[in-house]
Structure 1
C-alpha cells in the first residue's frame, strides 16, 4: 500500500504533533480543524489517548488524527460549510450511508461526505488512525464550475460514498500529497505547489465522487457557467488580497457589472462582492494558522486590506465561529 501516514513519509517536527487525554482540549482542536460535532465513546469509562496533527494544502486542512479508543462521531455542524474526506491509515471506520446500510473503510480506503449538505455518522475501531481532508464546500463548487462549467448540486453533494482504495490513483495522489507536505511544507501551505496540489486533489476527488453518484460531469444536460464566470472565479482567487471591485472584475473578464452579478447569482448563488469577502477571510484564516511567530492578527488582517479591526473581527467570528485571536493562538506556536 502507498505510504499515507504523514508521520512516516513527512516526519513533521515533534513540536507540531499533539497528544491529549483531555476531552475539552481535543474538542477545541477538532472544532477548529474540522467543525463542531458530537463524539461518543463506544464503551464505559473510556478515556481518550488522542494523537493530533494538522497542516494545510492551500484551502484544504490535512489532519492525522486518532482518539485512541473506539468512538462514534456524528451531528456535524452544517453551518461550518465543510466536506470531509476520510482515509483510514490503521484500523477501520464504519460509515453510515443511510438508515440500514454502512460502508467499512479499512486501511487505505477513503470515504467522502459533504457535512454542509447531508447528515453523517461514523464509528471508529479502537486502533483507528485517520488521514482526513477538510475541504470547504465552496472550494468543491468553485472547482466544479471552473473545470466543468456547472455546480453539480445536491445530486452529488448529498451522496456519501467510498472512493479510491488499494492500488488506485486516488491513493497514489494522497501519498504524493503527504510526501510533498513533508518535504516542502511552506510551499504546500501557501504557494504555487499548494495551489496546484489542491487543484489535483479536488479535481480527482470530484471525478471519482461523481462517478459513484452517477453524475456525468463531462456530458451534463444542465446549464454550464459561461467562460467569463470561470475566469472571474480564478481572478478573484488570485487577486482577493488586492480588494478587486465588481467593476474591476467585470472589466477583467470583459462583461458589464450587471451581467457579472447576475451570472454569479445564477451559477454560484452569491455576488462578486460576497465572493471576494469569502476569499479574503479564507486567506486570512490560512495565514493566522501558519504565519511565523511575530506576525499578529492586526498585521495579517492589514495585509489583506482590513483597516477597522473591530469590523474585521466581527465578520471573521460570524464566518468561522471564533475570534481571529483564537485562531492565531492555535497556529504554529501552540502546535
Structure 2
C-alpha cells in the first residue's frame, strides 16, 4: 500500500510523526540536561514543566506517568527532582493544589453547591478519603467550610 504525499502533509500526521521521531531520538540518546538545567526561578526545568502540566490539567485524572512524560523524564527522575526541590512528591503537590481548589469553591458556596459535587469536580472520587485529607489539611470538615 502506498500513501499519498498529501497524507503526510496533514498537520495531525505531521505532529504524530514528529512526536515519534523525537521520542525515538531521546530514547536512543538519553540526556540529563533537563534535570540539571536551572531556570530563573532557581528550580529545575523538570519541576517547572511538571508544575505547568499539572496546573493545566489539575481537574483531569492525570497520572505520575503523564506528568513525567510532560517533563521529559522518567517517573523516578521526576519523583527525585520534585522531592529534592519541593519537599513533596508530584502527586502530593497535585493533591494539595486540588484541595486548595476545593476549598475555594466551598468558600464561594452557593445554594446548589454540595461537597460531593465539588470534590468530584477536582478529581476526588473516594469521598471518605477526600474528607479525611481535607480535614487534615484545613482543620475542619468540608461541610463546615461550605456552611461559612
Structure 1: segments with no counterpart, 5+ residues: 1-146, 151-224, 331-335
Q: Provide the rounded CA distance (Å) in 1 between the counterparts of 2:76 and 2:128.
A: 31
Q: Which structure 1 residue ranges, 4+ long, deviate > 2 Å from structure 2?
A: 147-150
Q: 1:219-262 deviations in whole A, cap 9, x for unaligned?
A: xxxxxx22121121122122121132110001112111111110
Over the aligned positions, Cα root-mean-square deviation in angstroms equals: 1.7
Q: 1:271-296 deviations in whole A, cap 9, x for unaligned?
A: 01111111110110111111432010
Tell whether the 8 Å contact from 1:284 to 1:300 is kept in structure 2 after alignment.
Answer: yes
Q: Is 2:40 the counterpart of 1:148? A: yes
Tell whether the 8 Å contact from 1:243 to 1:276 is kept in structure 2 after alignment.
Answer: no
State the partner residue of 1:261: 79
TM-score, with structure 2 as normaliser: 0.69
Q: Provide the rounded CA distance (Å) in 1 between the counterparts of 2:66 and 2:106.
A: 28
Question: What's the secondary structure of 2:58's corresponding residue?
Answer: helix
- 129, 141, 144: which one aligns with 1:323: 141
Structure 2: segments with no counterpart, 5+ residues: 1-38
TM-score, with structure 1 as normaliser: 0.32
- Count how many residue pairs are aligned between Structure 1 and Structure 2: 111
Flag the structure with higher helix content. 2
Question: What's the secondary structure of 1:241's corresponding residue?
Answer: coil
- 92, 114, 119: which one aligns with 1:296: 114
Question: What's the secondary structure of 1:242's corresponding residue?
Answer: coil
Q: Provide the rounded CA distance (Å) in 1 between the counterparts of 2:57 and 2:46.
A: 16
Tell whether the 8 Å contact from 2:79 to 2:89 is kept in structure 1 after alignment.
Answer: yes
For 1:1-335, list aligned pairs within 5 A: 148-150=40-42, 225-330=43-148
Tell whether the 8 Å contact from 1:246 to 1:272 is kept in structure 2 after alignment.
Answer: yes
Flag the structure with higher strand content. 1
Tell whether the 8 Å contact from 2:46 to 2:81 is kept in structure 1 after alignment.
Answer: no
State the partner residue of 2:34: none
State the partner residue of 2:14: none
Tell whether the 8 Å contact from 1:149 to 1:230 is kept in structure 2 after alignment.
Answer: no
State the partner residue of 1:29: none
Question: What's the secondary structure of 1:234's corresponding residue?
Answer: helix
Q: Provide the rounded CA distance (Å) in 1 between the counterparts of 2:84 and 2:118.
A: 33
State the partner residue of 1:164: none
